[in-house]
Amino acid sequence: MNGRADNGSADNGSAMTERYQGALMNTFGPPQRVLVRGEGVYVWDIDGNRYLDLLGGIAVNALGHAHPAIVNAVTDQLGTLGHISNFFASVPQIALAERLLALVGSPGKVFFTNSGTEANEAAFKATRRTGRTKIVAAQNSFHGRTMGALALTSKKAYREPFEPLPGDVVWVPYGDADALAKAVDDTVAAVILEPIQGEAGVVDPPAGYLKAARDITTAHDALLWIDEIQTGMGRTGAWFAHTGSGIVPDLVTVAKGLGGGIPIGALLALGHAATLLQPGNHGTTFGGNPVATAAALAVIDTIVADDLLANAKEVGDRIRTGLAAHPLVIDVTGEGLLIGIVLAQDVSAALQQSALGAGLIINNPTPNRLRLAPPLILTADEADDAVKTLLTLLDTLTPLDGEAQ
Ligand SMILES: *Cc1c(COP(=O)(O)O)cnc(C)c1O
């Protein structure tokens, strides 16, 4: 079926890529491959090649590809009640909101969206209801591509073509509690932070940073908004990456892994923040859709049933230990199955390309960092295979400076 490598055929990878480029807007650059099928931690391209997926749709495919729990939940829900408007409520929507609040461990209220950036838009609007407008964000942050979330994203290349964006945003160096303390005063509505910076290349804050951020915001009656869109829902071996710091934020945004591949995001507004948005202040047609919320419930149930938080921790550490042994690897970062590999040279793009050729999907967020965010179902054996391949590729890439090898 997919096993052909018939380059003359009209449905091979290069012909399909040409059609893509003829019909799809060029915002992402050329696609790396055209994929036709996925199962577990593997995907197959249209030419029949198999890849071990260590990126998981960018931290989305928590249960891998075509997991029966999601397939069944979506199929059953779609066959029962597929979409309603937010004039009505559905049972999976209510159950998921209760479940998320139980997992975050604090009372609050949930607003469902279809994506990460929309969860951040909802939170951004909630911050405006404090009567203050100033937001403090971190350098190298990523919070999304819509105009509001983009206003909080620090990368100039993303922002500048679209200015003016919503204003009154200041940036501080990530991980620097003193700089944060200096930037926050009684005019600040909120501080937004990723508990680990994902798009920046899996950058960990120093110990105590989130706790300091909580103390600083509390002292000035400002909201602490934790963007868990990449780190949340078990990715780091905990339901949320911030809980290890012992803090309770005011706003928590989640998305990526939440639906295991079905688009859904959420704003969890905790404590007093739960009532900032009032009737008429915000809305969505699709957000909280029965099918998407049923998928998310299936993801959470499976993470619990299969003990995938523990698996994420164990297998993540195994990959870090395996790769840290290579002389070109100068640091390993992240938690659980959100993994950063810091390289001594700017070879991440070359490595990403050679890995793809060797049947491994990895990501190169910066010139000297690799990011891995595989499905939480990744087994130790699959991880060992991947590490072995990566170590071999690192060897071939390593003309160690000044050393005759
Ligand atoms: C991916 C991401 C977003 C944006 O999510 P989309 O679903 O792409 O809109 C926001 N914040 C963080 C931390 C992310 O990783």
The CATH code belonging to domain 70-305 is 3.40.640.10
Q: How many CA atoms lie within 13 A of 399 on its CB side?
A: 2
Question: Which atom of ligand 1 lies nearest, measured to the CA of 141?
Answer: 13
CA–centroid distance, 11 to ligand 1, in Å, is 32
Q: Computed from CA positions of residues 215, 218, 219, 223, in that sequence, does the dihedral angle turn out positive or negative?
A: positive
Question: Which atom of ligand 1 lies nearest, measured to the CA of 230?
Answer: 15
Domains of the chain by residue range: 13-66+307-404, 70-305
Give one DSSP letter per residue of 118-129, joined into a string.
Answer: HHHHHHHHHHHT
| Ligand 1 and 140: CB distance under 6 A | no
Q: Give the list of residues 6+ apart from residue 195 with CB closer than 8 angstroms, or none.
A: 205, 210, 226, 228, 231, 236, 240, 241, 242, 245
| Ligand 1 and 229: CB distance under 6 A | yes
How far is residue 365's CA from residue 238's CA, in Å, rounded to a whole number? 23
Query: Using CA positions, which residue lies closest to atom 6 of ligand 1?
Result: 116
| Ligand 1 and 117: CB distance under 6 A | yes
Q: Reply yes or no on domain 13-66+307-404 having CATH 3.40.640.10.
A: no
Q: Residue-wise pLDDT tens for the chain (405 aa)?
A: 444 444 456 789 999 999 999 999 999 999 999 999 999 999 999 999 999 999 999 999 999 999 999 999 999 999 999 999 999 999 999 999 999 999 999 999 999 999 999 999 999 999 999 999 999 999 999 999 999 999 999 999 999 999 999 999 999 999 999 999 999 999 999 999 999 999 999 999 999 999 999 999 999 999 999 999 999 999 999 999 999 999 999 999 999 999 999 999 999 999 999 999 999 999 999 999 999 999 999 999 999 999 999 999 999 999 999 999 999 999 999 999 999 999 999 999 999 999 999 999 999 999 999 999 999 999 999 999 999 999 999 999 865 544 433
Q: Give the list of residues 6+ apart from residue 68 with CB closer than 8 angstroms, or none.
A: none
Chain centroid to Cα 156, Å, comes to: 21
CA–centroid distance, 145 to ligand 1, in Å, is 8
CA–centroid distance, 114 to ligand 1, in Å, is 11
